[in-house]
Amino acid sequence: MRYKPKPPPRFQLAMTPTPIEVFSLTPAPRSGVEIFIKRDDQTGSELSGNKIRKMEFILYDLISKKSDVIITCGGVQSNHCRVVAALAARIGLDCELILKGRSTSLPDGNFLLDKLFGAKVRFVTEREYERNIEGILKRRARVFQKRGRRSYIIPEGASTSLGIWGYFLAGLELKKQLDKAGIKADYIACAVGSGGSYTGLYLASLYLKWPVKILGFAVCRDTDYFKSKIIRLAKQFLENYKLDLKPDPSEIIIDDNYIGPGYAKIGRMEADFIKKVAVNSGIILDPAYTAKSMIGLFNYIVEKKIRKKSVVVFIHTGGLLSIFPQRGKLFGR
């Protein structure tokens, strides 16, 4: 492995390295494709999932800037917002969440924990969110500024050049684990919701000169949006941290065919898939990210978009808590 770059300061909060497990299920046994799962759903409990890797760096930054209120955004069942709310409660800072969607009479899943952690919540429509979430966040920051507060805005999914360090280092961690186990990966597969995790993994592969293809399955927005955003984030990261790497847009693989009914929404097909995986493997896939990306991966194997006898590492980004509000879809009630 090449010399490890010195990352910015952070609080080491995630339980890492997360394990890699054999995934016994396959949609095409004769393909010879092996699937391993990187269990980033096991980074913690309240702080579980991929977002805590990013937040280790961002939390250090916001504390160093003497911020006293955190403002961020996401869907009603956002894993990111739950992690931010938990961290804010731990360090005694106010937290305001701008959530896309509608309030529910009885909080559930991640939203229940947001409320338990004492986060203040504001709801906006999906149209308002998609058209102007950056403007909404800045407007709320100005309100706090007029009150003499120091607010810190965290964009959707903590996908900033600072947050990318989380999955850049996760990529190095993954390669080290695979090398130690004697596993040669041909593909890495992951969900893409804000682009930061994919960007970090891709940059790690460039840094290591690792000829692995990274398959990203979009869970919202389209391929063009994410390819453009990932290249933009990559360039910002490389400029900010003086790394001499050359990202190539042609290497960014994002498939937007598995969004299904919409972000964090599932239909009968996704619900049946989640149940079949659970009963046959003991692993829970979440409705927003991992279920849709695993469906995409299975289809790639069936359609022979993945070469025979390849090795795939699937990144399980967490999301267990968001399964509970989907009980009606899962069991027809």
* 15-32 pLDDT tens trace: 999 999 999 999 999 999
Same domain, 173 and 261: yes
pLDDT at 333: 62
Query: Does residue 242 sit in the same domain as residue 287?
Result: yes
Domain that holds residue 219: 20-49+160-331
pLDDT in tens, 161-185: 999 999 999 999 999 999 999 999 9
Instruction: Map residue 325 onto helix, strand or coil.
Output: helix
Among 158, 175, 200, give the residue marking a domain's end: 158
Residue 189 pLDDT: 98
Kindly state whether residue 58 falls inside one of the protein's structural domains: yes
SS3 call for 327? helix
Is residue 191 a part of any domain in this protein? yes
Contact 134, 53 (CB under 8 A): no
170 and 284 both lie in a single domain:
yes
Query: 333: which 2 tokens?
Result: 């009630």
Residue 109 sits in the same domain as residue 193: no
Contact 256, 223 (CB under 8 A): yes
d(CA 274, CA 3): 40
Same domain, 193 and 246: yes
Contacts of 293 (CB under 8 A, 6+ apart): 189, 190, 191, 192, 217, 219, 258, 314
Residue 239 lies in a domain: yes
Q: 68 with 129, same domain? A: yes
Pair 168, 44 in one domain: yes
Q: Report pLDDT digits (tens) over 78-122.
A: 999 999 999 999 999 999 999 999 888 899 999 999 999 999 999
| Residue 144 predicted with pLDDT over 90 | yes
pLDDT at 332: 82
DSSP 320: G
Task: Determine the pLDDT at residue 3.
Answer: 53
330/333 Cα distance (integer angstroms): 8
Same domain? For 105 and 93 the reply is yes
Q: How far apart are CA 288 and CA 263, in angstroms?
A: 6
The residue among 321, 324, 318 whose CA lies nearest residue 42 is: 318
Write out pLDDT tens, residues 202-224: 999 999 999 999 999 999 999 99
In a domain, 59, yes or no: yes
- Domain shared by 177 and 133, yes or no: no
Average model confidence (pLDDT) across the chain? 96
Write the DSSP assignment of 169-225 as a string of letters: HHHHHHHHHHHHHT---SEEEEEESSSHHHHHHHHHHHHHT---EEEEEESSS-HHH
% of the chain exceeding 70 in pLDDT: 99
Q: Is residue 31 part of a domain?
A: yes
Residue (of 200, 177, 152) closest to 317 by Cα position: 200
Q: Indicate the pLDDT class of residue 59, thresholds 50, 70 and 90.
A: very high
Q: In terms of domains, do 122 and 241 share one? A: no
State the Cα angle at 163 between 161 and 169, rounded to 5°.
Answer: 105
Element (H, E) at 292: helix 290-302
Instruction: Note whether residue 42 is domain-resident.
Output: yes
Determine the 3-state secondary structure of 93 from DSSP.
coil
Q: pTM value?
A: 0.96
Q: What are phi and psi of 289, to 5 degrees?
A: -120, -70
Question: pLDDT band at residue 275, thresholds of 50, 70 and 90?
Answer: very high
Q: What are phi and psi of 265, to 5 degrees?
A: -115, 140
Q: Are 214 and 205 in contact (CB under 8 A)?
A: yes
Which pLDDT belongs to residue 103?
Answer: 87
Q: What is the mean pLDDT of residues 53-57?
A: 98
Residue 13 lies in a domain: no
pLDDT of residue 2: 53
- Give catalytic status of residue 78 as yes or no: yes
| Residues comprising the chain, all counted | 333
Tell which of 143, 158, 173 closes a domain.
158
Cα-Cα end-to-end distance for the chain: 52
**Cα distances (angstroms) measured from residue 214 to each of 135, 187, 306:** 32, 6, 12
Domain end residue (candidates: 158, 190, 224): 158
Nearest to residue 165, comparing CAs of 236, 227, 70, 256? 236
- Specify if 254 maps to a domain: yes
pLDDT of res. 161: 96
Per the residue annotation, which of 48, 67, 78, 159 is the catalytic one? 78
The alpha carbon of 119 is separated from its chain's Cα centroid by a whole number of angstroms, namely 21
Query: What percent of the chain shows pLDDT beyond 90?
Result: 96
Instruction: Provide the domain count of the chain.
Output: 2
User: 66: domain CATH number?
Assistant: 3.40.50.1100
CA distance 56 to 11: 5
Task: Please check whether residues 133 and 273 belong to one and the same domain.
Answer: no
User: Do 75 and 100 touch, CB atoms closer than 8 A?
Assistant: yes
Helix, coil or strand: residue 38: strand
Whether 250 and 123 share a structural domain = no
